[in-house]
Structure 1
Amino acid sequence: MKYVLIISVFVGISSAKAHGVDGINLGPPSNDPKSLVKTMKADKDPALPRIAEGVTNGFKLWSAGSVVSVCFFDSSSDVRRQFADIANTWLKNANLKFDFGAAPDFRSCDDGSQYNIRVSFNNTGNWSYVGTDAVRVDRSAPSLNVQSGNNSGQHVTSANQFKTVVLHEVGHALAMEHEHQSPAAKCDQEFNWPVIYRTFAQRYSWDKEKVDTNLRSLAKSPRIRTTEYDPNSIMHYHFDAWMFHRGVASKCYTAENTMLSALDLATITAIYPADRGGQTSLYREREKRVRSVIDELGLSSEQKAAIVERINEVAQTAAPGYAAVLVTGGDINQSRGCNSAIAGAQATGGSSISSQSNCN
């Protein structure tokens, strides 16, 4: 789930970089038994389960017009205020709201209630579950963590770094996908894999299989976003120059982005439109791209069915009754929506989402 292709971590010896690659912190643990990472067979490609789960991330939207509740674990009121101010820049033109509780202290996560997004500032890296995955896991545990730019939630130590990381992770919490290199760039061929294998073995004691599973999946992941390629997106990964054969001259090297791009803001407005029905239309457009991608991956019919089932499950929050259609070799496989669905958030300010059966 989230942590699949949503890892926001770093490489770099002297300073941490938001949405780069870090050999240690790869995101939150998966405690969802339905995660495709846990259930899908890797076959000959160890990156496949992560790629498959990443395909579903674009369907994990909150319902347009709803209020998403947010709480904080141990942290100062000043750090909470800065987080809230930064997070709200995403929603200037979107039909969605965050509820952080009353200023100046904002809401703590330890009041016995269940909230949608649960923010911590622990020493576990920078990560977030994608969109509504946050309510499919343990509601008493963090769903988003910011390690960089602050001192365990007590003080902001680097305003620019803190802002960059918060923007990126909140983007994931809003179901924004990673912006990858253009598919035509074939970036997997640009990476110096022998150097990467050797460096991660020395620096983090990773073997080749672990590098392939966690890093190569990033380079090989298909681009699901239906907008034009945006190298300036806050959601774009930054890979250090040493990871490429040609360093900064590589066509796949991009500088680190530190603010929302114009297309980031346009995208968040599109996925949270004034008309809730617009989310269903968006899903249909993304479904076309997913259909093409999973055909290119050469998956078995069982693997494709698992992806479709997962998409239909997570899509219910924003589009109740949505059922993706997968056309393969003349056969049409369609889920009729008889899945465990997440519903009812918008009527309660987003703080009490319950599981429902959605069988027709």
Structure 2
Amino acid sequence: MKLNGVVAALVFAIMAGPALAHDLPGLVGDEAVLDDDEKATLEQIDAEEAEISALLAKGASTVGLEGIMDSALVWRKDVLTACFFAGSAQSARNAIAGVAADWTTGTRLSFDFGPEGNRRQCDPAHPSDIRIAFKGGNEGGEWSRVGAEAKLVKNTAPTMNFEGLDQIATASESQRGTILHEFGHAIGFKHEHQSIAADCDKQFNWDYLYTQLGWTKKVVDHNMAKLSLATTKTLIATPFDRQSIMLYSLNRGAFLDPDHASCYIPRQTTRISAVDRALAQQLYAIADGNIPDGAPPEPNLELLAPLNKIAGILGE
């Protein structure tokens, strides 16, 4: 893995904790499309990320590693190809493509869905980076793989799902929020309520979460608890962003005191916030051609080992 031009920003620890991003209607959807080998590979990444978090908790130096650490799951390419599985209307494909493009503003990143009116259909022989399905049932809901982990999913399987959006003519405001949220995951963002800069875990009514979401305790903890990175040190962690497109809108019962909970929002955000935008622009910064003076610092080899293992798993 190269120490190159991704700016040192870590969307409240992109590489910390398992990179399964689910939304309330579609928690287990992406697990259902994975085979045992793919699950095992993702568990390897989880193990390396756990080692990184443990080292950081002990005060391990991050000097010289910024370019790697914030790109553990960030795509190391400028154009992400995307396709749609058969059965979805061209109008729905156009609507999704149009909304998703909002993430690329001011970045070097672009999405290639194919030409308008003839959006690309998924072909396992020529797999796209992001493969969009509209499944229901046990694979349904709204979900996405996080960042470059999509590369680990078999070519015949989706990396993103939008149940019920396959025939829309245009995206409603609510659907716009759903699309932006999932594409935020696709470029590397995790959920805002899990931010190391937030106190959502202290505001949650955990009895409610464990009994009312219909998930196992392990799954609730995985999707709702604060990420485990124990220090920010030289990393950039933004203040908690209540306007983030990545913040869940949960029932009032999910909070101990919803009227005074900063993490409670009465309705789902449908627009990319200013902080979301700034982080995307940092993570996928447009190269300015400037070369820093002096030799690069020597990286911490203790942290470099698990980071390089993640890079090897992702094929980078």
Instruction: Please give the TM-score of this superposition, normalised by the length of structure 2.
Output: 0.70
Secondary structure of 1:71's match?
strand
- Please, which of 235, 241, 250 is the counterpart of residue 246 of structure 2? 235
What per-residue deviation string (whole Å, max 9, x for no partner) do you get for residues 315-334 of structure 1?
x4xxxxxxxxxxxxxxxxxx
Contact 2:95 2:171 (8 Å CA) reproduced? no
Per the alignment, residue 270 of structure 1 pairs with: 282
- CA drift at 1:111: 6.6
Q: Would the alpha carbon gap of residues 275 and 221 (structure 1) be closer, same or farther in structure 2, given more than 3 Å must change? A: same
- CA drift at 1:126: 0.8
For the residues of structure 1 that align with 2:211 and 2:119, how far apart are their CA atoms? 46
What per-residue deviation string (whole Å, max 9, x for no partner) do you get for residues 283-313 of structure 1?
x9xxx9xx9xxxxxxxxxxxxx8x9655334
Runs of 4+ in 1 over 6 A off after TM superposition: none
Per the alignment, residue 311 of structure 1 pairs with: 307
Per the alignment, residue 158 of structure 2 pairs with: 142
Cα root mean square deviation, aligned: 3.8
| Mapped pair 1:83 → 2:96 | yes
- CA drift at 1:171: 0.9
Per the alignment, residue 43 of structure 2 pairs with: 36
Say how many residue pairs are matched: 265
Structure 2 gaps of 5+ residues are 1-14, 55-68, 291-295
Contact 1:181 1:229 (8 Å CA) reproduced? no
Q: Would the alpha carbon gap of residues 239 and 80 (structure 1) be closer, same or farther in structure 2, given more than 3 Å must change? A: same
Contact 1:2 1:133 (8 Å CA) reproduced? no
- Equivalences for 1:222-301 in 2 at 5 Å? 222=228, 226-255=237-266, 256-275=268-287
| Mapped pair 1:26 → 2:28 | yes
Per the alignment, residue 61 of structure 2 pairs with: none
Per the alignment, residue 7 of structure 1 pairs with: 21
For the residues of structure 1 that align with 2:112 and 2:197, how far apart are their CA atoms? 40
Per the alignment, residue 117 of structure 1 pairs with: 130
Contact 2:124 2:156 (8 Å CA) reproduced? no
Partner AA of 1:9 in structure 2? D
- Equivalences for 1:123-162 in 2 at 5 Å? 123=136, 124-147=140-163, 150=165, 153-156=166-169, 159-162=172-175
For the residues of structure 1 that align with 2:21 and 2:89, how far apart are their CA atoms? 25
Contact 1:3 1:130 (8 Å CA) reproduced? no
- Equivalences for 1:57-76 in 2 at 5 Å? 59-64=72-77, 66-74=78-86, 75-76=88-89
Secondary structure of 1:162's match?
helix
Contact 1:131 1:172 (8 Å CA) reproduced? yes
Per the alignment, residue 221 of structure 1 pairs with: 227
Contact 2:132 2:160 (8 Å CA) reproduced? yes
For the residues of structure 2 that align with 1:250 and 1:137, how far apart are their CA atoms? 37
More RCO (CA 8 Å, sep 6+): 2
